[in-house]
Chains A and B, each alone.
Chain A
Amino acid sequence: MKIDQMTMEDIRSGLDTKKFTAKELVQSVYKKISEVEDQVEAYITLSEEEAYKKAEEIDTAIEQGEVLGPLAGIPIAIKDNICTEGIKTTCASKMLEDFIPPYDATVVKKLKDAGAIIIGKTNMDEFAMGSSTENSAFKVTKNPWRLDRVPGGSSGGSAAAVAAGMAFMALGSDTGGSIRQPAAFCGVVGLKPTYGLVSRYGLVAFASSLDQIGPITKSVKDCALTLDVIHGFDPKDGTTKSVKNATSYLNEIEKGIEGLRIAIPREFFPSTLDSQITNEIMESMFMLKGLGATIDEISLPITEEGLSAYYIISSAEASSNLGRFDGIKYGYRSDEYEDIEELVLNARTEGFGKETKRRIMLGTYTLTSGYYDAYYNRAQKVREKIKQQFNDIFKKYDLIISPTSPVLPFPIGEKIGNPLDMYLSDIYTISANLTGLPAISLPCGFCMEGLPIGLQIIGGPFSESKILRAAYALEQELGLGNGVAVIKEAKR
Chain B
Amino acid sequence: MKISKEEVLYIAKLAKLKFTDEEALELTTEFEGILKHFDSLKESDYELGDTSINEELVPTELREDKVEIFEENTKLFANAKDKERGYIKIPKVIE
Q: Mark A421-451, 1 if CB is under 8 A from B, else 0.
A: 0010000000000001000000000000000
Across the interface, do A365 and B11 meet the contact criterion of CB distance under 8 Å? yes
Give the Cβ gap from B38 to chain A, nearest Cβ, in Å: 5
Could you give, for residues 69-94 of chain B, a 1 whenever the CB lies within 8 Å of some chain A CB and a 0 otherwise? 01010011011111000001011110
Cβ contacts under 8 Å, A379 to chain B = 41
Q: Tell me, in angstroms, the Cα distance from A357 to B42 when the chains sit together.
A: 26
For window 227-281 of chain A, which residues contact chain B by CB distance below 8 Å? 233, 235, 238-242
**Given A375-B38, A388-B49, A461-B54, residue A329 in contact with residue B80 (CB < 8 A):** yes
In angstroms, Cα B52 to Cα A387, docked, is: 11
Chain B residues positioned under 8 Å from A339 (CB to CB)? 91-92
In whole Å, how far is B40's beta carbon from the nearest beta carbon of chain A?
Answer: 4
In the complex the two chains form, what is the Cα distance from A329 to B30 in whole Å?
A: 33
State the majority secondary structure of interface residues on B: loop
Which one of A238, A338, A346 contacts B18 once the chains associate, using CB atoms below 8 Å? A346
- A238:B15 contact, CB within 8 angstroms: no
Is the Cβ of A103 less than 8 Å from the Cβ of B72? yes
How many contacts A-B (CB < 8 Å)? Answer: 146
Interface residues of B in 9-68 (CB under 8 A from A): 11-12, 14-19, 27, 30-31, 33-34, 37-38, 40-44, 46, 48-51, 54, 56-57, 59-60, 62-63
Q: Does A344 sit within 8 A of B, measured CB to CB?
A: yes
Contact stretch, chosen from A71-79, A159-167, A211-219, A307-315: A307-315
Interface contact A102-B72, CB-CB below 8 Å: yes
Q: Is the interface of A mostly helix, strand, loop or mixed?
A: helix
Contacts of B57 in A (CB 8 A): 194-196, 436, 461
Nearest Cβ on chain A to B67's Cβ, whole angstroms: 14
A145 interface contact, C-beta 8 A: no
Give the docked Cα–Cα distance between A145 and B75 (Å).
41
Within the complex, the shortest CB–CB distance from A237 to chain B, in Å, comes to: 9
- B41, A238: Cβ atoms under 8 Å? no
In the bound complex, what is the Cα–Cα distance between A239 and B62 (angstroms)?
8
Q: Are A240 and B41 in contact (CB under 8 A)?
A: no
Q: How large is the interface on A (under 10, 10 to 19, 20 to 34, 35 or more residues)?
A: 35 or more
A102-B72, A388-B50 known; A328 and B34 CB under 8 Å?
no
* Residue contact A382 to B50, C-beta cutoff 8 Å: no
Q: How far is the CA of A329 from the CA of B82 in the complex (A)?
A: 9
Q: Which of B18, B41, B50, B78 has the most CB of A within 10 A?
A: B41
**By the criterion CB–CB under 8 Å, are A340 and B42 in contact?**
no
Q: Is the CB of B40 within 8 A of A238?
A: no
Q: Which of A339-385 contact B (CB under 8 A)?
A: 339-340, 343-346, 348-349, 352, 357-358, 360-362, 364-366, 368, 374-375, 378-379, 381-382, 384-385
Query: Are A361 and B27 in contact, CB atoms less than 8 angstroms apart?
Result: yes
Complex Cα distance, B51 from A319, in Å, reads 28
Q: Which residue of A lies closest to B40 (CB)?
A: A304
1/0 per residue, CB under 8 A from B, across A99-111: the answer is 1101100000000
B38 A312 Cβ-Cβ under 8 A: yes
CA distance A194 to B80 in the complex (A): 36
A47: Cβ under 8 A from any B Cβ: no
Residues of chain B within 8 A (CB-CB) of A357 are 17
Question: Which positions in B face A, CB cutoff 8 Å?
Answer: 8, 11-12, 14-19, 27, 30-31, 33-34, 37-38, 40-44, 46, 48-51, 54, 56-57, 59-60, 62-63, 70, 72, 75-76, 78-82, 88, 90-93
Known: A102-B78, A238-B60, A238-B62. 9 other contacts (CB 8 A): A102-B72, A235-B63, A238-B59, A308-B40, A345-B17, A364-B15, A381-B46, A391-B54, A461-B56
Q: Which 4 pairs show the lowest CB-CB distances between chains A and B? A: A102-B75, A330-B79, A304-B40, A333-B81
Instruction: Offer 8 A-B interface pairs, CB within 8 angstroms, sorted by A.
Output: A239-B60, A308-B38, A338-B91, A348-B17, A357-B17, A361-B31, A378-B46, A388-B51
